């Protein structure tokens, strides 16, 4: 028991940081939506907040990976947690919508750099034999935050204001930064390592060439990553029309729609708990292959439903299986991407994914206006099903087992 606790000391601290950060992110998202809605009375102004994240990714991930792989990961994570905490704490003092958008854009840029940095640090810290268990616990914590975060936000709104909730999120990020400072320094180098390199534009050119060459040499790994990213792009596009579909096609009331979202949260929790219990017994290839296939099946049920009950069944199935799919993907990614270039690969791949999200989500929005929401949702989920069938076929190839062990 003592040996087990010692081996899980730092992973558990890391999971605590993820939990604090995820709960704070939900509080921040809901509070920010209410602040902008109260300020403008415009749903369009609120929806613009969701476009800022992929745009921020486009602006950072071209060059962020080159910094991440050359700088001290732990120090970088602490810096961006503190930076985001300060920026978020400044939001309540802004009276201009455009100033709020600008600051949110910089917060999203920091988050876009933090994500691949933390993934690289986790991969270095967690031994390969612990990764699947760690990722299943990570999914469980993320799904718990999905339920706990909005609940805490609602409580904060009852005893205070959205501004108060914003300060709570800033405090959560400060706590996250403090937790990271107690983590081991795996690199023992400072934040100025990049100045030893050649001119930064040359560095970028060299790094992009490195990622392109790596992708050409490892077609199978790139194919799995690309197909999973395509599924996530389709999920984002379909989810962008979720509220409108529920209200205009299924004719749900606000209360019924809220209950539908709660059912999805319950599915995530149940899936993550079962995933955690059987983490050592489930093959990574099955998690990502069958997991994504069942996710798309859940979306199909939802898209072709005509009442609350069928929509709820679809929501539960898709959210239940998403926990397995995410665990499989994270484990595959960490086991197959070299950790010394993980920052560059992750950043550039996420850059491409952000472009696809903006394009596909925009197409879905325009098509929903011109044709009908139901037809767009149906076509979107059928496309997702095709993508996941391909992903399942790729991941279950017997000749590729070396990538999954």
DSSP one-letter string for 72-98: -HHHHHHHHHHHHHHHHHHGGG---HH
Topology of domain 198-405, per CATH?
Answer: Growth Hormone; Chain: A; (1.20.1250)
* Contact (Cβ atoms closer than 8 angstroms) between residue 214 and residue 345: yes
Q: How confident is the model at residue 43 (pLDDT cuts 50, 70, 90)?
A: low
Planar angle of CA 270, 272, 277, nearest 5 degrees: 95
Identify whether the C-beta of residue 58 lies closer than 8 Å to the C-beta of residue 189. no
Domain 1-196 sits in CATH at: 1.20.1250.20
Contact 140, 323 (CB under 8 A): yes
Asked whether residue 142 carries a pLDDT value surpassing 80, the answer given is: no
d(CA 3, CA 45): 53
Does the pTM surpass 0.85? The reply is no
Provide the pLDDT for residue 4: 63
Q: How far is residue 401's CA from residue 405's CA, in Å, rounded to a whole number?
A: 7
Q: What is the pLDDT of residue 278?
A: 82
User: Any long-range contacts for 187-191 (C-beta under 8 Å, 24+ apart)?
Assistant: 187/72, 187/73, 187/74, 188/72, 189/71, 189/72, 190/72, 190/75, 191/71, 191/72, 191/75, 191/76, 191/79
How high is the pLDDT of residue 191?
A: 47
- Is residue 69 helix, strand or coil? coil
54-81 confidence digits (pLDDT tens): 888 888 877 888 788 888 888 999 999 9
CA distance 403 to 383: 26
Better-predicted residue by pLDDT, 19 or 243: 19
Percent residues over pLDDT 90 in the chain: 27
d(CA 307, CA 372): 18
Nearest 10 degrees: Cα torsion 296, 299, 300, 303: -160
Q: Do domains 1-196 and 198-405 have the same CATH topology?
A: yes
pLDDT reported for residue 38? 78
Question: In this structure, how many other beta carbons lie within 10 angstroms of the beta carbon of residue 191?
Answer: 13
Output the pLDDT for position 192.
Answer: 47
Per-residue HEC secondary structure of 200-264 comes to HHHHHHHHHHHHHHHHHHCHHHHHHHHHHHHHHHHHHHHHCCHHHHHHHCCCCCHHHHHHHHHHH
Q: Would you list the domain boundaries of the chain?
A: 1-196, 198-405
In the numeric block, which tokens belong to residue 220? 């199978």
Mean pLDDT over the full length of the chain = 84
Question: Do residues 326 and 284 touch, judged by C-beta distance below 8 A?
Answer: no
Residues contacting 46, CB < 8 A, separation 6+: 33, 36, 37, 40
DSSP letter string over 351-404?
HHHHHHHHHHHHHHHHHHHHS-HHHHHHHHHHHHHHHHHHHHHHHT-GGGGGG-
pLDDT tens per residue, range 340-392: 888 889 888 988 998 998 888 888 888 887 888 899 999 999 999 999 999 99
Of 58-62, 223-227, 303-307, least confident by mean pLDDT is: 58-62
User: Hey, how many other C-beta atoms are within 10 angstroms of the C-beta on 300?
Assistant: 18
């Amino acid at each position: 028991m003592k040996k087990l606790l010692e081996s899980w000391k730092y992973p558990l601290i890391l999971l605590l940081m993820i939990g604090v950060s995820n709960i704070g992110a939900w509080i921040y998202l809901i509070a920010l939506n209410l602040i902008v809605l109260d300020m403008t009375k415009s749903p369009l102004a609120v929806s613009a907040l969701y476009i800022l994240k992929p745009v921020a990714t486009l602006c950072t991930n071209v060059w962020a990976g080159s910094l991440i792989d050359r700088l001290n990961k732990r120090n970088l994570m602490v810096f961006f947690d503190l930076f985001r905490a300060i920026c978020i704490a400044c939001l309540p003092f802004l009276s201009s919508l455009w100033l709020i958008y600008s600051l949110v854009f910089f917060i999203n840029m920091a988050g876009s750099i933090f994500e691949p940095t933390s993934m690289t640090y986790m991969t270095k810290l967690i031994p390969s034999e612990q990764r699947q268990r760690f990722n299943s616990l990570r999914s469980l914590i993320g799904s718990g935050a999905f339920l706990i975060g909005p609940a805490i936000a609602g409580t904060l709104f009852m005893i205070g204001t959205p501004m108060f909730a914003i300060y709570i999120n800033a405090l959560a990020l400060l706590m996250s930064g403090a937790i990271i400072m107690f983590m081991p320094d795996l690199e023992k180098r400072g934040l100025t390592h990049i100045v030893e390199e050649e001119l930064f534009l040359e560095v970028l050119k060299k790094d992009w060439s490195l990622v392109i060459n790596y992708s050409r040499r490892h077609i199978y790994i790139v194919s799995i990553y690309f197909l999973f990213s395509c599924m996530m792009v389709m999920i984002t596009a379909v989810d962008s029309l979720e509220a409108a579909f529920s209200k205009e096609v299924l004719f749900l009331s606000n209360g019924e729609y809220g209950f539908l979202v709660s059912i999805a949260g319950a599915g995530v929790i149940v899936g993550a708990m079962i995933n955690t219990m059987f983490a050592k017994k489930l093959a990574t290839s099955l998690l990502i292959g069958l997991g994504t296939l069942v996710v798309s099946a859940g979306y199909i049920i939802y898209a072709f439903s005509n009442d609350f009950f069928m929509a709820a069944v679809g929501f539960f199935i898709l959210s239940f299986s998403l926990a397995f799919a995410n665990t499989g993907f994270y484990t595959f990614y960490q086991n197959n991407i070299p950790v010394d270039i993980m920052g560059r690969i992750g950043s550039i791949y996420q850059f491409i994914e952000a472009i696809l999200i903006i394009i596909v989500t925009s197409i879905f929005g325009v098509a929903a206006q011109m044709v009908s929401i139901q037809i767009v949702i149906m076509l979107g989920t059928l496309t997702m099903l095709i993508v996941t069938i391909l992903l399942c076929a790729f991941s279950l190839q017997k000749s590729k087992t070396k990538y999954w062990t």
